[in-house]
Structure 1
Amino acid sequence: MRQKVGVAIALAKSAKVLLLDESTSGLDPSAANEFSKILESLRNDGVAILMATHDLFRANEIGDRIGITRAGRLVETIKAKETTLSELEATYLHLS
């Protein structure tokens, strides 16, 4: 719920950038789906979204580019449209 309130505040202030950390953590599947649709709409309206997550499905669904980090360092950048979820998962498992 705090994530939704944070996004609502950002919307009210017409924020150009959102910084999110595990934004769907603790949400039930229905709420996570609703939240993802909000993020997609914002992305389509030109809002830049930087989201830290372990949810590969949401990352691949919402993101344009996916960065994989290890020990705080970026080790791989992948274009979401150029990979499948199974390929993304395999890459993540290989690099982590």
Structure 2
Amino acid sequence: MSTAVRYDGFGGIDVLRVEEVERPVPAAGQVLVRVKAAGINPSEAAIRRGAVADIFPSTFPSGQGSDLAGVIKEIGPRAGGFRPGDEVIGFSNERASQAELVLV
């Protein structure tokens, strides 16, 4: 298991919670990162509030955040050029960077 910031409906920061989620497993071309720092920008807050739902639709439960920095914990097949222990910065298109473990 792992932990992640999640929410079940649009709203302010009061809709956010930290919960246990299944431990991600890297697929082909992916790496699993243990997140050390994650950010949030105004656009992501607008997505959470539902202000841009016509452009960026959400499915619930949803995660939050795109930007992250951390250390590679595991690599999937064909994720060449990376090794466990590498320090990385990255971006997730899955709205999932505010979590203990993230696939990128």
Give the number of the structure whose residues are more often strand, by fraction.
2
Tell me which interval the TM-score lies in, with the shorter structure as reference length.
Answer: under 0.3
TM-score (normalised: structure 2): 0.21
Q: Bigger relative contact order, structure 1 or 2, given CA contacts below 8 A and separation 6+? A: 2
TM-score (normalised: structure 1): 0.22
